[in-house]
Chain A
Amino acid sequence: MIQLIYLTVLLPFAGFLINGIFGSKIKNEKIIGWIGSGAIGVSFLIVVGAFFETIALPPDQRQHIVTLFNWLSVGSLNVSIAYQVDQLSLTMALIVTGVGFIIHVYSIGYMHGDKGFWRFFAYLNLFIFAMMNLILADNFVLLFLGWEGVGLCSYLLIGFWYDRKFEKGTTGDAAKKAFIVNRIGDFGFLLGMFLIFLTFNSLNFNEVFTRANALNISTTVYSFIALFLFIGATGKSAQIPLFVWLPDAMAGPTPVSALIHAATMVTAGVYMVARCSIIFASAPAIMTVVAIIGLLTALFAATIGLVQNDIKKVLAYSTVSQLGYMFLAMGVGAFSAGIFHVMTHAFFKALLFLGAGSVIHGMHDEQNIQKYGGLKKYMPTTYKTFLVAAIAISGIPPLAGFFSKDEILWSAYANAGFIYWFIGVVTALLTAFYMFRLLNLTFEGKHRFDVHHIHPHESPKLMTIPLIVLAVLSVGGGFIGIPEIFSGEHGNNFHSWLAPIFSDAQIRLAQYGSHTHFEEILLMVISVVGAASSIYFARYIYLKNQKVAEHTASKFKRIYKILLNKYYVDEVYSNVIIQPIYKTSESLLWKITDVKLLDGLVNGTASLVELVSGKIRKIQTGVAQTYAVVMMLGIVAALFWIIYSL
C-alpha cells in the first residue's frame, strides 16, 4: 500500500478530469457525486492501508519515499515528483482523505439540484489532488505546487456561486480577496524557499533537514528562513495580519467551508511549520514570534466571535482562533500537540460547519442566528451532533478537543510561561461562551422566525450520516492522544507515533523544564472548570435572562461595536494599505509611469521593431543574385574576422 501512495494523488485527479470533462454531459447527480466521492474514498482506503503497514514497522524504518519520476534537474537543483510517506504525512493524509470523503458524501445531499453540481465535484476533487501533493511532497517545489493548487481551488470554490451577492459585493470579491491575501503570504514562502536553496543547496526535505542538522549555520540565516516561511503560513492559515480573507471565504458553499476553510487547507501552514520543525527550532526568536502571533490571533478572533450573528462567520472566527492555538503549539515547540489539534479540530470543526450547513439547508439559506431559535425539535440529529461538537471545541473532557487543547495549554505553560497559558485559557473560556451562544440561539429557546413561511426540516440521510460519523470521531478522537498522566506507562500514543519526525527539533530546543504532574492536573482542572462555567453563563444569558445580553451590549456599546465590526481591521487595511496603493497606482503608476513612460517605451519599441522589421524585409528582394551577394558578403566578413583574430 505504501508503494501505491501515488494513487491517492492520481485518483482525485482522475475524478477531477472525469467530472470536469464529461460532467456537463452526465445528467445524473448520483453518478457525478459518487465518482467524486469514490475517488476520495478509495484514496482513503489506500492511506489506511499504508498507515497499518507503516505502524507495523519499527519506528526508525517508517519513512518511505515513493518516486514517480525525476522532473527537473539542473545543476544542483533536483526536483522529483516524489511522495514521502512518514508519520506526519500519513497523519495529515488520513485527515484529508477521511474528512474529505465524509464531506464529499455530505455534498451530494447539500448540493442537490445546483446547476453547477458537476463543477462543484470537479473542483472538490482537484482540491484534494492539490492538497495531497502538498502533504505528501518530498520537496519544497512539489509542496509549493500543491500550496498554489489549493489556493486556486479555494479561489474557485469561494466564488462558486459567482452570480450571488455576498455582503457588500459579490462572491467573486470574496474569492479575489482570499487569493490576493494568500499571494502576499506565498511571496514570503517563495522567498523562504529561495533562501533555503541558497543556504542548503537543495530543496529536498531530507537533504535540507539533514544538512540543517549537521551544518553550522548562523541563527540569523535560520531566522530569516523561518520568518519567510512563517509569513507564508500566516497567509494560508489565516493568522494575524493576513487572517482577513477567511471570514469572507464563507461566501462559498458550506461543504467548502468545512473542507477547505476549516479542516484541511487552512492547516497547511501548521503542517508546513511542523515539517520544517528543525529550521524553526534553530531560530528561537522566530519561535517566540510564532507563539505570540498564534496566541494573539486566538484571543483576537475569539473576541470577535462573541458578537457575530452570521452562523458561518462565528465558525469562521472560531477557526481562525483555533488555528491560533495550533501556531501557539508550534511556537512553544509542542509540534505533535499542534498536529494533534489539527486532527481533532478537523473532526469537530468540520462537524460544526456541516451542522451549520444542515441548518442553513433546513432554513432556506437563512444564516442569521438571531432569526433562528428552537430548531432542536425540527432537527434533532443536527442538534445532537452540533452539541457534541460544541462540547468538544469547548474542551470538556473526555471529548476530543479537551485532550488536544489541554496539551497545548500545558506545553505553553511548561515551555513559555504563565502568561501564555493564561491568555490561552481566557481564549478557551471565550470559545466555550460563543459556541454555546451560537448553540442556544440556534437550537434552544423560542423560534424567532415566521413559522408560516419557513418550515425547518431535518436534512436527508446523506447529510445526517456524515454528521453522526464526525460526531463519533469528535467524541472518541482524542483517546489516541491521552496524556501520560492518565494512561500511565503507555505514554501518549500520538506523541510516540510522531516523535521521530520532531526528534531533531526537540534536541535542538532542549528546553523542557521539569514540571510535576500535580501542576498539570491543577491547570487542567482550572481550564475545565472555567469552560464549564462559561457554558453555564452562556446558557444563563441566552436562555434564562436575555436582558443581560442586551444590557451588556448597550452598557459597553463602544466595545460591542468594535467587536461587531471586527476591530475595523478590514477598514484599516483598506485605508492604510489598499487605498493608498490604489491611489498611487492610479495617479502615479498608471497615468504617469504606465501610460506615459512604459506604454510610451513599449509602444515606441514595438513601433521601432516594426519599422526595422519593415525596412529589413526589403532586403528580401526575391532576386537570387542578391541572395548570393549577401551570402558572399557574409563569408568575406567571417573570413576577415577569423583571420584577423588569429
Chain B
Amino acid sequence: MNEIFMITPLLIISGGILLSLIVEMFYKKSEIILPWLSIAIFISAAYYSLLTAYREGVVFNSMLAVGGLVHIFYFIFNFGAAIVVLLSIDHIKKVGIYFGEFYILMQSAVLGMMFLSGAKDLVMVFIGLEQMSVCFYILTGFNRKRSSSNEAALKYFLLGAFASGFVVYGMALIYGAVGSLSIPSVSFYLINQSPSIIFIVGLLLFIIGFSFKIAAVPFHMWVPDVYQGAPTTVTAFMSTGGKAAAFSALLVVLVPVFSNLAKNNFIPLLSVLAVITMLYGSIVAIAQIDLKRMLAYSSIAHAGYMIIGLAAGNQNGVTGIVFYLAAYTFMNLGAFGVISMVEAKDNSHVDLQSYTGLAAKYPLLAAMLTIFMFALAGIPPFAGFFGKYFVFISAIEANLTWLAIIGVISSAISAYFYLRVVVVMYFKSTDSPIDVEPSYYALLGIFISALLVLVMGLFPNSIIQLISFFVG
C-alpha cells in the first residue's frame, strides 16, 4: 500500500486520463472543459513531483524509481505539457481540429514519458516508449483533413516501429548477457566483470533505437517531415517532452555504464554521433525557409549538443543534459508558441517571408520570438547559453576539449539562422504585413516560457545545484 503512495504523480495522471475519458464520453462540449482539466492535472502532478522529489526510492520489485532526478523530469514533462495546452486551446480551434481527444492523448503521452524516465527495468522503458510513441503517432496525424499531416503520421509510425524493433533487439541481447532486464542487475553485472560483446552490441542497438527518438543523425530523417506535417503545438510537444523523455531513458541505462570500463567503447561513438548531429542540424537548417522545418533541424542540432554530455559520461555531463533539456523545453515551447499564433487557418504563414516587418505591427510577439531565438542560439543571459555551457564544460572535464570546440563552432553556425528570423522581423519592412489572430491563452503560455528562459539564464546556479543534488 505504501508503494502506491510513492507513485502519486503517476496516479494523478492516470486518474486524470480516466476522468477525462469519462468527461469526453458524457459531455458534448468536452473540448471546452478538457483543456482546463488537463492543466489542473498537469500542474498538480508537476507540483506534487517537486514536493516529493526528496523522497527517493525504488518501488514495485525495482520496476520504477521515484523521487530525485526522476521527479525533476516529471516536472519538466508536466509543466511543459501544461504550457502546450495553453498554446493549443485557440490553435486547434483555428486549424479545425477542435476535439477533446487531443488533450487525452497528450495526457497519455505524458504518462508514457513518465514511465520512460522513471523506469528501473528495461521492460518499463519499452512500455513507456510505446505508450508515448503511439500517442505521438496519432497526434501527428490529428489533422485528418490535411494530407501532409497524414503523411507525416504514417512516416513517423513506420520508422518509429522500425526503431522500436532495434530497442527490443538490444534489450534481448542485454538480457542474454546479464540474465535480467532490471537496471540494478545491469549495474551489478557491470561491476563484477568486463562486459561481453553481446552486452555491448545490445547496448549499442538500444542507444541507436533511442537515437531515433532524440533525432540524432543519421536516425533523424523523419524529424523534418514529421515536425512540419504535425499540428504546430503537437510539434512543440514532441520536440520538447518527447526528446526529454528519450534522453531520460538513455540516462537510465547509460549512467550505470559510466562507472564501467565499457564506457570507453562508447565514448568515440557517441562523440562522432554528437559531431555529425550538431553540424548536420546547424548546416542544413540554414537552407530552410519554413520555420517549423528550420526548428526541426535546430532540434537535431540541439540533440547533438546534449549527446556531448553523454559522451563526457561524468556527473557534470548528466547535470548539464538535464539543465539543457529543461532550458530547451521552455525555449522551444515558446518559439513554437509564437509560430502557432502567427500560423494562419490554412497552415500557411509559417515561412520566413511571413515574418517580414512583424516587429512593427506586433512588437510584443516579435520581442518574445527574439528572446527565444537568442536563447536557442545560446546567447547569454538566456537559458540556452548555460545549457550549452554546462555540457561543454563537462566535455572539457572529460578531456574531450575538441568536442567542445566543435560544439562552439556549430553554435556559431546556428546563430545565422536563428538571428535571421530576428533580422527579418526587425530590419525588413513590407507594405502588407500579415495579420495575427490574438490568443491570450497562448500569449500567457509564451510569457511563462520566456520568464522561465530568463530566470534559468539569470540564476543558472541555483537550478544546477538543485539538479546536481539529485544527480549526485
Binding site for B on A (CB under 8 A): 69-75, 606, 609-610, 612-614, 616-617, 619-620, 622, 624, 626-628, 630-631, 633-635, 638-639, 641-643, 645-646
What separation, in Å, do the CA atoms of A638 and B393 have in the docked complex? 27
Flag if B208 contacts A617 (CB, 8 Å): no
Which residue of the partner chain A has the closest CB to B287? A613
Contacts of B204 in A (CB 8 A): 638-639, 642
What separation, in Å, do the CA atoms of A616 and B225 have in the docked complex? 15
Contacts of B462 in A (CB 8 A): 69-70
Flag if A624 contacts B159 (CB, 8 Å): yes
Flag if A630 contacts B221 (CB, 8 Å): yes
What separation, in Å, do the CA atoms of A620 and B285 have in the docked complex? 12
Flag if A616 contacts B221 (CB, 8 Å): no
Say yes or no for B265: interface residue by CB 8 A criterion: yes
Binding site for A on B (CB under 8 A): 154-155, 158-159, 162-163, 166, 197, 200-201, 204-205, 208, 212, 217-219, 221-222, 224-225, 265-266, 268-269, 280, 283-287, 393, 413, 416, 459-462, 465
Chain B proximity of A354: nearest CB distance (Å): 37
Contacts of A638 in B (CB 8 A): 204, 208, 269
Contacting residue for A646 out of B154, B166, B222, B265, CB 8 A:
B265
What separation, in Å, do the CA atoms of A616 and B279 have in the docked complex? 12
Which residue of the partner chain A has the closest CB to B396? A75
Q: Which of B218, B221, B222 has the most CB of A within 10 A?
A: B221
Q: Given A627-B222, A633-B218, A638-B208, do A616 and B459 touch, yes or no (CB 8 Å)?
A: no
Which residue of the partner chain B has the closest CB to A72? B461
What separation, in Å, do the CA atoms of A69 and B459 have in the docked complex? 8
Leading 5 A-B pairs by shortest Cβ distance: A627-B221, A634-B218, A613-B287, A613-B286, A70-B461
Q: Given A71-B459, A638-B208, do A631 and B287 touch, yes or no (CB 8 Å)?
A: no
What separation, in Å, do the CA atoms of A612 and B413 have in the docked complex? 13
Contacting residue for B461 out of A73, A633, A634, CB 8 A:
A73
Contacts of B287 in A (CB 8 A): 610, 613-614, 617
Flag if A631 contacts B218 (CB, 8 Å): yes
Flag if B218 contacts A645 (CB, 8 Å): no
Q: A75-B393, A634-B208 are in contact. List 18 more A-B contacts (CB 8 A).
A: A69-B461, A72-B460, A72-B461, A613-B284, A613-B285, A613-B286, A613-B287, A617-B284, A617-B287, A619-B221, A620-B221, A622-B225, A631-B212, A631-B221, A634-B218, A638-B208, A645-B268, A646-B197
Chain B proximity of A69: nearest CB distance (Å): 6
Flag if B459 contacts A627 (CB, 8 Å): no
What separation, in Å, do the CA atoms of A84 and B181 have in the docked complex? 55
Flag if A639 contacts B201 (CB, 8 Å): yes
Contacts of B166 in A (CB 8 A): 635
What separation, in Å, do the CA atoms of A627 and B286 have in the docked complex? 21
Flag if B201 contacts A630 (CB, 8 Å): no
Contacts of A70 in B (CB 8 A): 461-462, 465
Contacts of B393 in A (CB 8 A): 74-75
Contacts of A641 in B (CB 8 A): 268-269
Chain B proximity of A564: nearest CB distance (Å): 47
Q: Given A628-B159, A638-B204, do A71 and B269 touch, yes or no (CB 8 Å)?
A: no
What separation, in Å, do the CA atoms of A613 and B224 have in the docked complex? 14
What separation, in Å, do the CA atoms of A385 and B268 have in the docked complex? 77
Contacts of A612 in B (CB 8 A): 283
Flag if A616 contacts B280 (CB, 8 Å): yes
Chain B proximity of A645: nearest CB distance (Å): 6
Flag if B159 contacts A627 (CB, 8 Å): yes
Contacts of A609 in B (CB 8 A): 283, 286, 413
